[in-house]
Amino acid sequence: GNSVTQMEGPVTLSEEAFLTINCTYTATGYPSLFWYVQYPGEGLQLLLKATKADDKGSNKGFEATYRKETTSFHLEKGSVQVSDSAVYFCALSYGGATNKLIFGTGTLLAVQP
């Protein structure tokens, strides 16, 4: 079946460090891919998305490229801030009639000053 696998956390970084959170997926066809973020005490928010192979999603300094050949959608940021501390979820969707999201287990990022 369709699934998403994320690197386990927590990921602990110092401010201004480079961030990578790995995400790979298993799916038939060509899903759309998403990163959602959950800040402490808040609801899930869409961070970025890519709807077809080789697309790059970007937002707030974060980027992820849809790699069909490696079935991956790794999240990167060149210089993290304390305010980036949150749980990050990778997800896929086929859109269509249902558009339900299939999530990974989430990766906790803690950025220290």
CB of 37 closer than 8 Å to CB of 87: yes
- Nearest distance from C-beta of residue 56 to another protein, angstroms: 15
Query: Any contact of residue 57 with another protein (CB under 8 A)?
Result: no
Residue of 42, 69, 70, 113 that binds another protein (CB under 8 A): 42
The residues, ordered by sequence, that sit 6+ positions from 107 with a Cβ below 8 Å of its Cβ are 6, 7, 8, 9, 10, 11, 21, 87, 88, 89
- Nearest distance from C-beta of residue 89 to another protein, angstroms: 5
CA 112/CA 15 separation, integer angstroms: 6
Residue with tokens 């005490």: 41
The residues, ordered by sequence, that sit 6+ positions from 72 with a Cβ below 8 Å of its Cβ are 22, 23, 24, 25
- Nearest distance from C-beta of residue 101 to another protein, angstroms: 6
Query: Any contact of residue 71 with another protein (CB under 8 A)?
Result: no
Segment lying near another protein (by CB under 8 A), choices 20-28, 44-52, 61-69, 71-79: 44-52
Residues binding another protein (CB under 8 A): 4, 32, 36, 42-46, 49, 51, 89, 91, 93, 95-106
